Structure 1
Amino acid sequence: MSQEHVNRRSMLRGCGGIGLAAFGLGCGAGTASAAVSASPRFDLTKPSYDLFRHKRLHDVTVQQGFAFDGINKRLFVAQRRNGTDTKAGDLCITQLDFAGNYVSYMHLSGFGHGVAFGVEPRGTESWLWTEVDANANGYGTRLARFKFVKGGSLSHASSAIAKYSPVPGAVEYTCSIDPVHENLVLRHHKYGAKHIAVYAMADAKAGDFSRPKAYFKQPSIPGTMQGYTAYGQYLYCLTGNAYSASNPAPGNAHLVSVNLNAGVIAQGPVLTKAGGTLEFREPEGLAVYRTDAGQSRLFLGFASGAAGNRRSNLFYKNVLL
């Protein structure tokens, strides 16, 4: 299905019923009740546990976002590529196993910053959902979907990429996937502010973005945004900066949860001391994973190590309210 066809259908459907107009995205003003199914939320005040520390990635730069393929037991971590212009949008995606052992990598050119992305399992394959077509500041201006290829290299202009512009008027996109409740969460810039949209993965995979489950302007969250993800009815955001003379341990990494149906903060900001003894310690990325035993976990990422030898660290929380 072409993107042009999707856009025309969205415009036609958006002026009635529960289409785009109902969420203030399309043909007129209006509101509608959000429709994300009710769920418990992670208690951000509870302790965090290690998955791994000090693991090497393919590149030596600070990690950005990360995401799991829970079906095929793969972990992917995004970095901005070393040796290229920081505003070029060139990324390196490292594949690890769940113990943090290196498996492979893929290079992406002209995609974006990598603060968040998602993975869609398709049989034995992993398909990535990322930003693409980086602007002058190095942030993606569209949404992309493509197959992860070990050792591969992909240009933003490749015909192997399916591209989408889900929200009319949006100028920057990132996304995350809730693999438990099968939703795609889209964070984007519009009207001078960040907004959040939630779509059923079934609709997103069909290229249909005309029926968001929720849409709202992101509430004010203090600090530098370093990652986000969703679990059911709640969005989770990670903010903060690396340790420095002005930001000594325990640092300023905080977690916030947002009710997707109300568009308001549910808990936080809560200071997290996960990985508090790490050298450098910069908060980088959030993702959700459910174990084979059925335990849902909220994963927090941190970069560590000296410049030119950055490492990956993952921790998780597992208490739901």
Structure 2
Amino acid sequence: MTDPLESAARPTHSRRSLLTGGIKLAAGAAVLGGGSLLAASPAYAAVPDSPKFYLPGAGGNPVLRQTLHQPNWAMQSFAYDSVNENIYFAQHKVGSDTGDLWLSKTDLFGKVLSTMAIHGFGHGSSMGVETAGAGNSPYIWIESHSVNDAGTRIARFRWVDDGTLETTSSSIYNRTPTVSSFAHSPRPAIDTHYDRVLFRYHSGSATRPWRIAVFTLADAVAGRLSDGYRLTERAIPTNQELGLTDADSFQGITSCGRYAYLIFGGPNRSSYLVTLDLNDTGSSYVEKFLTNAGESLPGREAQGIAIWRLNGAPRLAFGYSSKITSTEPDTFESSVFYKSEFSA
């Protein structure tokens, strides 16, 4: 499903802009930040070097065609609480513009354990999970305060089994970035291996509008999200610069150390994984990889990417929504694949 601000806000982009083994791989509008891209701002440091995932490398498929809490709502994103061995999924109702989402807490194989209903938050196109320790409910990071089904802020709130949450709740912490290049449409992701938070957001630029800024988890939790606290910031290449078409929709972002990883692909279309160096700039990218993971899934559509830690090692997990059209309404299923190898 398409994040509604992607097409309106991206004139040069697309329309929307474990276990080892198992099935083998086939190989979005409030302005809160102010300022312009040319405004002076404090310098920031480079992200230290780290290993880079080898995108053609080996992996697995721990979640295969699982039905989440609401079978007629499509998965949009997911994230891991690796300490407690849970995955959290966000689902959105097809065709709805209310910003209502279902969140499902599952085991590592996608079996639903509990849920939350969150009302008026947005499309759910990216999320993060901040682990609060063994046996404790984590904090969810996700877009909130929806306008026409697109979140305008970032909410941080504690997970409550079978809970319901409104955007007016006093339990929500506003963690919207305030860097000078921020215009609207923030989306979060958490690097659970290096304890950092990445925000993807629209800068207001017409030529290369989408940017990412990275903060330490400690600063982001404390709300220190201005220029002086960012570890790094850079533009995301446009679809044209990545050699993709307008139909190759942006479907998620995460980071692990020095590198950000993006997933692209529309319904029943090719799917691509893209690596960016967080210390680089502009149109640059490290790698674009055409993945055939889940290519036999009916109505396959890329949806979400996240870091999963197992036995202390990070994995790059990426997801797909699939659709059964013989039911009325359509039934949606969720699958998750991963990459576990690093480049030499």
TM class by smaller structure: 0.7 to 0.9
Aligned twin of 2:26: none
Residue of 294, 301, 305 corresponding to 2:323: 305
* Residue 262 (structure 1) aligned with residue 273 (structure 2): no
Cα deviation, 1:76-110, whole Å, max 9, x if unaligned, reads: 0001146xx62221111011100221101101111
Within-5 A mapping of 1:278-297: 278-292=297-311, 294-297=312-315
Match of 1:122, SS?
coil
| Mean CA deviation greater in 187-196 or 223-232 | 187-196
Residue of 194, 202, 215 corresponding to 1:199: 215
Percentage identity across aligned positions? 33
Residue 231 (structure 1) shift: 0.6
Partners of 1:43 and 1:32 in 2: how far apart? 31
| Mean CA deviation greater in 305-314 or 102-111 | 305-314
Aligned twin of 2:293: 274
Q: 1:165 to 1:102 in 2, by over 3 A?
A: closer
Residue 183 (structure 1) shift: 0.5
Match of 1:280, SS?
coil
Q: Is the 8 A contact 2:155 2:176 kept in 1?
A: no
Cα deviation, 1:234-291, whole Å, max 9, x if unaligned, reads: 1100000121xxxxxxx31001000001135443321100011111111100001121
Match of 2:49, SS?
coil
Residue 140 (structure 1) shift: 0.9
Partners of 1:315 and 1:27 in 2: how far apart? 40
Aligned twin of 2:185: 172
Partners of 1:295 and 1:165 in 2: how far apart? 29
Aligned twin of 1:155: 166
Cα deviation, 1:135-178, whole Å, max 9, x if unaligned, reads: 22x11111110011111111111111111332255211110000
- Give the letter for the 2:151 counterpart: G
Residue 314 (structure 1) shift: 0.5
| Mean CA deviation greater in 164-173 or 216-225 | 164-173
Query: Could you state the TM-score of these two structures normalised by the residue count of structure 1?
Result: 0.84
Q: Is the 8 A contact 2:37 2:203 kept in 1?
A: no
Aligned twin of 1:225: 250
Match of 1:204, SS?
helix
Aligned twin of 2:260: 235
Aligned twin of 1:88: 98
Cα deviation, 1:107-132, whole Å, max 9, x if unaligned, reads: 11111111111011113121101111
Detail structure 1 runs of 4+ shifted over 4 Å in the superposition. 24-27
Q: CA RMSD in A?
A: 2.0
Q: Is the 8 A contact 2:59 2:341 kept in 1?
A: no
Between Structure 1 and Structure 2, how many residues are aligned?
288
Aligned twin of 1:41: 52
Match of 1:203, SS?
helix
Partners of 1:47 and 1:25 in 2: how far apart? 43
Cα deviation, 1:28-50, whole Å, max 9, x if unaligned, reads: 33673542121111111224421
Aligned twin of 1:110: 120
Match of 2:324, SS?
coil
Q: 1:30 to 1:163 in 2, by over 3 A?
A: closer
Aligned twin of 1:5: none
Partners of 1:78 and 1:212 in 2: how far apart? 27
Partners of 2:51 and 2:43 in 1: how far apart? 23
* Residue 65 (structure 1) aligned with residue 77 (structure 2): yes
- Give the letter for the 1:288 counterpart: I
Aligned twin of 1:317: 339
Q: 1:44 to 1:27 in 2, by over 3 A?
A: closer
Aligned twin of 1:12: none
Aligned twin of 1:6: none
Cα deviation, 1:291-320, whole Å, max 9, x if unaligned, reads: 11x332100100113142111101001111
- Give the letter for the 2:306 counterpart: A
